[in-house]
Structure 1
Amino acid sequence: MKQLKVDQLEPDMILAESVYSASGKVLLAEGTKLTPDLIKRLMEMQVPRVCVNDENTIPIDPNEVLTNRVHTQALRILGTVIPADLCGSRLEDAQFRYELVAETIAKIMETKEVHELFLDLRTIDDDTLDHSITVCVLSLIVGAALKFTPDRLYMLGIGAMVHDIGKKAVPPEILAKREDLTPQETQMFQAHVKEGYRILREHGFDVPIAKVALYHHERWNGSGYVNRLAGDNIDLFSRIVQTADVYDDLIRGLTYKQKYLPHEAMEYLYGAGNFYFDVRVVKAFTSSISAYPLGSLVKLSTGEIGVVVNVQKTSAPRPIVKICYDKNNNRLDYPRQIDLSEEKTIFITKIL
């Protein structure tokens, strides 16, 4: 192992130690094979030195390491967001969708053209790869709810996974900025959709997949960018991915100025159906994805604390909660259940 300044790095060198951001998040994982783009990114992030392997180091395949991590994370997300009743036909339906989506994820992980882009997604910023994985899983669940064939589901999943690849061309300081962007910065940021389309076509992806990168910021009413498409002029893949993209942005607080609770993000989608989003996609999304996974510990507007024990398919943002603690944090001897889909004046205020 040897330590080098970033301007001494050469393509095909292997990182011997992970590179971290100022906040402690991994920017490049140990074992990553450096490319010209990655070296440029390190320079832009003003990383002073990195450790690389020398001729005595046993090499590992960084793509395989990262692909395994992405696969594991995707399955973990899948296991938490598909709502499942404790019995009945809806449990069977949820299990079928879980297996279908899990199989599609596995097929995506085996696609060389996709996992070759994981490193690029990981180095864009601290959140892009995690966001892309989540958007992929959410989009696949919606596609399954809309009865997509396995082939269409596979294409949708790839498009969702790499929808933000164009951000690699956006300066890091713009991606990291939380204040309002200047007009010039906005133009530079919005250019990532065209750049993403270009990158995906150059990597040999089919047009329907590359269109997701180009159109995922379009809106149903024509107010999006960059082509101002509206309604059915936006392809269905992109309409699904844009819905999943906004939902995850809201609950992560990535683009918006505040973090939303999951049910608040769901209600935002409800309210924007047939305005910003295709209402058919919104209905499939909100009926198929659990805002509060089973077992979530939540605080209610009454001050009481409970555990989510069931999710009604028709009202996923308002689950059944078993109240375990009163508003003074005293444990109840006899916990009781409350169905938030019926108790309209009570709502979840916090996930604990």
Structure 2
Amino acid sequence: MIKKISTIQLVPGMTVAEDVFTYDRQLILSKGTILNDRLIMKLDLYGILTIFIEGSVSASSSEVSPQEQTYLQRIKEDPVFPVFKREYEISVDFLQENIKRVIKGSLKLDINELLKGVLRVLGVDRGRIGILDLLQNMRAFDSSTFSHSINVALICNLLAGWLKWDTKRVELATACGLFHDIGKIQVPHAIITKPGRLSAKELAVIQQHPALGCQLLISQNADEHICNAALMHHERCDGSGYPTGLKGDQIDPYAKLVAIVDVYDAMTAPRVYRGPLCPFRVIELFEAEGFQKYEVAYLLAFMENVVNSYIQSPCLLSDGRKGTIIYINKSHLSRPIVQCGTEYVNLLEHPDLSIVSLL
């Protein structure tokens, strides 16, 4: 039996029933391919929403490994976390309440007011804990479109800062991240959360969310870049994205920035078969396939700063050894040098090894 299912429901071991193409007809996966975690992430990277698989679709629950649990628990037990969590949840709730009223027509969109909530989250004294670590732990509490929007806004703020943009541009990038998925909120919730098969009509509705978001933002007199980020965040520099297959300089620079962060947040999120994904796994995929699809300068700045934030972090290698990340290889960011006891393991020299989780 062949079924069409949402990529968010995919599980390693499923068999691809039909060839999978990008929106400009590039072959991504061939019929008969057995899915693994990396291939599922690849579909996220290409913005694929649904594919055909063979056999039945059974429900599963997210499993967090003991190693991942150690990492998440360490963050949760820090006194910073409840303060961050409170401000984060206030921001998510405020965004949800306001956007729903805007869509109903009972409230005018106040971008500056909604941005204040995000800036309050950023203003929490986090000590030595990075915001990416805190966001990883928040996934256990909320995985809604609204929390994703807050995540993307926060990380867009980081990336714009890493790119040395001025204060005004950093705030605009933050707003672009905050409202990039506003069109998805206009898609019926039953379609967004539907497990299993999506009809052709339902798929078409989901694919309309960039245009829906742009139209809503234009009606609210939002900045042109915010409107473009909503419309273009699924476009890719090589023309493989949607809704219109734009290339390179045809894509708004703020939309290019949001595109990277949007995919990163999606790929590090929990799946039905696993907990939150180790950032080094995502960086590895970006290195392998991201440079044609994303603005190179933005992608490099993002990857370099993400991995550098984990220097001196404990980790688990794929052979079961525990160690500490002590040096980042600039030529291959996902393969740092890890100290395991008295031994120094250069992952660049050991292609059979990788970091599977942070501890």
For the Cα contact (< 8 Å) 1:218–1:224, is it kept in 2? yes
Structure 1 unaligned spans of 5+ = 1-25, 42-62, 84-124, 324-333
Q: Alignment identity in percent?
A: 28
Give CA deviations for 1:25-46 in whole Å, capped at 9, x if unaligned.
x8999999977946x99xxxxx
Aligned length: 255
Residues 190 and 65 of structure 1, relative CA distance in 2, 3 Å threshold: closer
Q: Give 1:208 deviation, angstroms.
A: 1.2
| CA–CA distance in structure 2, aligned partners of residues 340 and 140 of structure 1 | 31
| CA–CA distance in structure 1, aligned partners of residues 264 and 122 of structure 2 | 18
**Match of residue 293, structure 2, among 266, 276, 293:** 276
For the Cα contact (< 8 Å) 2:315–2:358, is it kept in 1? yes
* 1:179 equivalent in structure 2: 196
Q: How does 1:249-264 map to 2 (within 5 A)?
A: 249-253=266-270, 260-264=277-281
| CA–CA distance in structure 2, aligned partners of residues 265 and 126 of structure 1 | 19
Give CA deviations for 1:27-72 in whole Å, capped at 9, x if unaligned.
999999977946x99xxxxxxxxxxxxxxxxxxxxx9999658733
* 1:351 equivalent in structure 2: 358
Q: Which moved more, 1:229-238 or 1:289-298?
A: 289-298
Structure 2 unaligned spans of 5+ = 1-88, 105-111, 134-141
| CA–CA distance in structure 1, aligned partners of residues 280 and 287 of structure 2 | 10
**Match of residue 305, structure 2, among 272, 279, 288:** 288
Q: Give 1:178 deviation, angstroms.
A: 4.5
**TM-score of the two chains, using structure 2 as the length reference:** 0.58
Residues 171 and 78 of structure 1, relative CA distance in 2, 3 Å threshold: farther
* 1:111 equivalent in structure 2: none
Residue type of the alignment partner of 2:307: S
Give CA deviations for 1:252-309 in whole Å, capped at 9, x if unaligned.
1569999653222112222223432223322222122228735644221221123445
Give CA deviations for 1:99-138 in whole Å, capped at 9, x if unaligned.
xxxxxxxxxxxxxxxxxxxxxxxxxx84223322322233
Residues 126 and 345 of structure 1, relative CA distance in 2, 3 Å threshold: closer
SS of residue matched to 1:173? helix
* 1:129 equivalent in structure 2: 146
**Match of residue 80, structure 1, among 130, 134, 142:** 130
**Match of residue 298, structure 1, among 315, 326, 331:** 315
| CA–CA distance in structure 2, aligned partners of residues 177 and 70 of structure 1 | 33
Residues 318 and 129 of structure 1, relative CA distance in 2, 3 Å threshold: farther
RMSD: 4.2
Give CA deviations for 1:130-188 in whole Å, capped at 9, x if unaligned.
32232223323332333322222221111012111112111112211353533211111
SS of residue matched to 1:349? strand
| CA–CA distance in structure 1, aligned partners of residues 280 and 321 of structure 2 | 18
For the Cα contact (< 8 Å) 1:221–1:230, is it kept in 2? yes
For the Cα contact (< 8 Å) 1:249–1:256, is it kept in 2? no
| CA–CA distance in structure 1, aligned partners of residues 120 and 299 of structure 2 | 26
| CA–CA distance in structure 2, aligned partners of residues 217 and 279 of structure 1 | 16
Residues 200 and 187 of structure 1, relative CA distance in 2, 3 Å threshold: same
**Match of residue 165, structure 2, among 145, 148, 158:** 148
**Match of residue 208, structure 1, among 221, 225, 228:** 225
Q: Which moved more, 1:178-187 or 1:207-216?
A: 178-187
* 2:213 equivalent in structure 1: 196
Higher relative contact order (CA 8 A, sep 6+): 2
SS of residue matched to 1:290? helix
Residue type of the alignment partner of 1:349: V
* 1:327 equivalent in structure 2: none
* 2:240 equivalent in structure 1: 223
Residue type of the alignment partner of 2:120: H
